[in-house]
Amino acid sequence: MKFVFLGTSDTGGIPLHNCTCDVCQEAREHKISNRSTCAYLELEDGSIVLFDAGYDLLCDKFNTHTIRAVFLTHFHADHCLGLIRLRKSESKIECYTPQDTQGFGDLFLHKDSINYSMLQPFETLEIANISVTAVPLMHSKPTVGYLIQTPQKKVAYLTDCACIPEESCVFLKRAKIDHLFLDACYEPNYANTKHLNWESATKYIDDIGADKGYLVHASCKTLVPLKESGKILKYPYISQGFCVEV
Ligand SMILES: [Zn+2]
Ligand SMILES: [Zn+2]
Ligand SMILES: [Zn+2]
């Protein structure tokens, strides 16, 4: 089974609208469009489990697939916009969310085909032969990351966080993670209280002790200074299409 990223960027994505920086120009030349951070697992029966739903073209990508579940990290637009189209699905879709009664826009007012269930901290759900646990994170809205356990591997999908609470760190350390994907939205010199940067994210990955670590949720404003500095980070930023066998 593969864990695949549909996008690994922040809200604006790469190339950013009307941006002429090197990173955006290079993306245009290679016809790359890397939008909001969002990933999926394709189960053995061909059905899909989504982690976040901000990817613009979800309905095209999975038009005739069964979407077994959507695990939403939080209700910011870049993680849930795809639900606006998915709610018109002819099939019922189960969407698991953090404890957020506000949601986004009119998603809760017009639920249509989507059934929302709020997860308790560290609650675990079994879907086919995988289990998914909600891991509390600190962000500007109620937010969780997910620990995904397949028969072979443990994956932590931790996007959008300013810090990982102590209890979550302890839980993640004990899990002995194979692949850890973590928010590193900014460069260290950019002051921000809602997201990690590549230095603070690296410290967390070292501390949690994952076998392999990766950085996500960056914009070109982060990748340009990284490129200019010539720095090689201990854990790489990944791009859309990145996948690992799990
Ligand atoms: Zn740019
Ligand atoms: Zn967010
Ligand atoms: Zn985000």
The count of structural domains within the chain is 1
Expressed as residue numbers, the domain containing 160 is 2-245
Query: What is the dihedral sign for C-alpha 206, 207, 210, 216?
Result: negative
pLDDT band at 56 (very low <50, low <70, confident <90, very high): confident
What is this structure's pTM?
0.97
| pLDDT, tens digit (0-9, with 9 covering 90-100), for 4-19 | 999 999 999 999 999 9
Length of the chain: 246
Question: What's residue 233's pLDDT?
Answer: 97
The ligand whose atoms approach the alpha carbon of 161 most closely is 2
In 66-210, which ranges are E strands?
Answer: 67-71, 93-97, 114-118, 124-127, 130-137, 143-149, 154-158, 179-183
The ligand whose atoms approach the alpha carbon of 140 most closely is 2
CATH number of the domain where residue 157 is located: 3.60.15.10
Q: Which residues contact 157 (CB under 8 A, 6 or more apart)?
A: 39, 51, 73, 145, 146, 148, 181
Question: What's residue 174's pLDDT?
Answer: 98
The encoded tokens of residue 107 equal 């998603």
Q: Which among 142, 122, 144 has a CA at the least distance from the CA of 133?
A: 122
Q: Which residues contact 212 (CB under 8 A, 6 or more apart)?
A: 178, 179, 180, 244
The ligand whose atoms approach the alpha carbon of 11 most closely is 3
The ligand whose atoms approach the alpha carbon of 26 most closely is 1
Helix axes 198-208, 166-175, angle to 10 degrees: 50
| pLDDT, tens digit (0-9, with 9 covering 90-100), for 143-198 | 999 999 999 999 999 999 999 999 999 999 999 999 999 999 999 988 888 999 99
Backbone φ, ψ for residue 78 (5° rounding) = -70, -5
57 CA to centre of ligand 2 in angstroms: 19
Q: CA 207, CA 238: separation in Å to the nearest integer?
A: 20
234 CA to centre of ligand 3 in angstroms: 23
| pLDDT, tens digit (0-9, with 9 covering 90-100), for 68-89 | 999 999 999 999 999 999 999 9
Q: In 10 A of CB 34, how many CB atoms?
A: 24
